[in-house]
Structure formats: structure tokens, C-alpha cells
Amino acid sequence: MDKALAGQFDLESIHTPAFVVFEEAIAHNLSILWQVIEQTGCKILMATKCFSMTRTFGLIAETLDGICASGPHEARLGAEHFGKEIHAFAAGFSEEDIRQLAPICNHLVFNSFSQWQRLGPLAKELNPNLKFGLRCNPEHSEGEVEIYDPCAASSRLGIVKDEFEKEKASDETFLEGISGLHFHTLCEMDSDALERTLAVFEVKFGQYLDRMEWVNFGGGHHITRGNYDVERLVQVINEFKARHPHLTVYLEPGEAVALNAGVLVASVLDVTRNGDVQNVILDTSATCHMPDVLEMPYRPNIIGAGDPGEKVHTYRLGGLSCLAGDIIGDYSFDAPLEIGDRLIFLDMAIYSMVKTNTFNGVALPWIYYGTADGKLELVRQFGYEDFKERL
């Protein structure tokens, strides 16, 4: 959707590099998520680890039930700007984290029994109304990329079945104070992956569900992707609720909220040649502005560009940092690229915006918001002070 919307705004006139997020695309995604909420009665949270643009929180809060945070800063952001349920999970919490999180959270999920036993009493003292959960590891992998697989071998994320059984053997009351279980196995997956995961989860942890109030199905649900099977998701949730009618079901997608909702606009700084390769240097950077390009790795789509050799002119696009591997990918274009040309990278609202950094002192992209009434609003501009004060 961001491709179509990009053509409706004057992106030639803005400062680059820049992220541009489109209100209409966010609203479109929310309409799909609302269908799931309406047809299942589940609750959907936004994972702020994926998308934390506060300018959009008012719109998103009209549909979703709250946010899930990965630590105190995200939780505080949700409390100050979202105003609904605040859930938090991290692989590890410090006492200082708990002192910040407990007063503002509704749900706090621990990654181990030791964290729960050590820090749970403090959290309860700080907030008697706080609900507590444990993250389970079903040891069931669906992802193909290990760095994004929470259930990879020897994963540090979640408690495996054997650990539950050990705790139960030593103390039958080991779940006292725990009101919910959480699992997360997916990454950009369809509902069939959730269905398979849920079957394993119920086999391994189903014996504990009768004493729970809620279950969180985690994130990674690509619900707003064009070919996602929403009907199957609704069926999976409703069938689970029929088996466990006392449980509230939570989902916490991040990408689904802002999928295809934003672009990164960059300008050509230089064109050089090394042997058979024409290198284009941009005022953006893979390592600084879209690190998932290198971590995943993946090759982002660009409006008007094709695969290498598909169009007449092929270039290798790279960033302006000193990292030799700051390469975005090889692309072809109908016309030669020239200094000052604008390139528009698609689907850059998710993860890219929250992962930006200032390696080499590279400037952070400015942030614009394309409103539903056609206005292009400058939300934030970054400069030297942001680099200096951060360090």
C-alpha cells in the first residue's frame, strides 16, 4: 500500500534521508485487525519493539487494546501516549526495571522461574493489581532464519516443558500468583504456523491452562499481508476459546500494524565504477538506517527498480558509511541514475525506524507523516545534537 500512497505525496521536495509513514496505510491495517477482534473477542496489542512512532498512537489506540513493551522505556512510552493496557516482557529484568515497570503495567511476563521468584514479590508490592505471566518455549520452530527463531536449539527465550515439570515436582504451588502463559514462535508467519504451534503448546502446557486467566499467542502474525489467511486465524482462535472458554486470548503483532505503511526516501550522492560494477552511494545506509537488510539478510524493494539485468542499467546500491559491507543490494533501472535522484525504499516503517543508529556520525533520517487529508507533516528532524547527546 505504501507504493500507491507514495505517489500521492511530493516526496521530491523533502529532506533526505527520510522515513515517511502514511496514515491511510495504518488505518487500512487496523481495519483488518479489527475484524479479528470483532469475530473472536481476542485482544490485540501492538508490539512497540517493531514500531514506536508516537504520532500514530492515537489512531492505533482507537482499535487495539494496548501495547506490549520490551522494557521500561517502551512501557513508559505506551503509558504516556497510548493510554490502554501495558504488557511487558524481557529476557531478563533488573530490580530497577521492576521499579519502573510495575507501577505502569497491567501484565508483566517473566522469562524464567528464577526471575519470577526473585522479582515477583517486589512487583506485587509495588502494584497489587498487576497480573503476572510466564513465557513458555514450546520447542517448536516455524521460522527458517535462526536469528529470528525464539525456539531455536538452546534458545534463551521461554521456559521449556522440562523446567515446568521440575518446578512442579518440587512445589505443587509453583504457579501461585501466575495468571497467564505466553508463547512466541512466529516471524512473518501465516495462521497455519500458529495452528501448528498452538497444538504443540496445548500438548506440552495444556495441563496448566485451567488455573490461568489468559494466554498470549505472541507476535509474528502477518495478519495484514495480502495473502494472509485471516479466516483461518479467526477459526484457530475461536476453536481454542471453545476448548478453554475461561481464557482471554491476546495477540501482540508489530509488523501487522505498520506493514507496508512507510517508505525510506534517499538521494544519490555519487556513481562510481569498479570493474564491471557500477556503485551508487546514497545518503542512507543499510547498517545505520535499515540494519535488517544485513541481519536477515534481505533485499528491500524500490519503486521503479528491478532485479539485476532486468532493466537497462544495473547498479549496486550502498550506504555512505565506512563499513565495506554497507551494501543494500543490486538493482536495475530504466534510466541511468544521476546525482540527486531520489530512490524510495518500500515497507520501511517496521523495525527499520526503531533500529536506526548513528554509526560514523551518519545523520538519522527525518520523519514525516502523510496524513489522510493529503498533508505531509514533518514530525521530527535530527541533527548534530542528537548524535552528541546520545553518547
Question: What percent of the residues of the chain are helix, what percent strand, and what percent coil, each to the nearest 5?
Answer: 35, 25, 40
Query: Residue 134 is placed in which grid cell?
Result: 510466564
**pLDDT score of 264:** 98
pLDDT tens per residue across span 327-383: 999 999 999 999 999 999 999 999 999 999 999 999 999 999 999 999 999 999 999
User: In whole numbers, what is the pLDDT of the chain averaged over residues?
Assistant: 97
**pLDDT score of 144:** 82
**340 SS3 class:** coil
Domain containing residue 381: 2-20+262-346+356-390
Element (H, E) at 109: strand 107-110
Residues 194 and 310 in one domain: no
**Rounded Cα gap, residues 189 and 353, in angstroms:** 21
**Rounded Cα gap, residues 172 and 180, in angstroms:** 17
**pLDDT score of 366:** 98
Q: How many structural domains is the chain composed of?
A: 2
Residues 218 and 280 in one domain: no
Residue 36 lies in a domain: no
Which residue's C-alpha cell is 521500561?
Answer: 72
Cα–Cα–Cα angle for 144, 148, 152, nearest 5°? 70
The domain boundary, picked from 258, 283, 311, lies at 258
Are the beta carbons of 140 and 121 closer than 8 angstroms? no
Are the beta carbons of 217 and 12 closer than 8 angstroms? no
Distances (CA, A) of 44 to 21, 32, 206, 213, 338: 21, 12, 22, 16, 45
Neighbours of 157 (CB within 10 A): 17
The domain boundary, picked from 258, 291, 314, lies at 258
pLDDT tens per residue across span 144-156: 888 999 999 999 9
Whether residue 167 is predicted with pLDDT greater than 90 in this model: the reply is: yes
pTM for this predicted structure: 0.96
pLDDT tens per residue across span 180-237: 999 999 999 999 999 999 999 999 999 999 999 999 999 999 999 999 999 999 999 9
**Rounded Cα gap, residues 338 and 99, in angstroms:** 54
**Rounded Cα gap, residues 138 and 385, in angstroms:** 45
Residues 86 and 197 in one domain: yes
Model confidence at 143, pLDDT cuts 50, 70, 90, reads confident
Q: What CATH code is carried by the domain that includes residue 320?
A: 2.40.37.10
Residue 34 lies in a domain: no
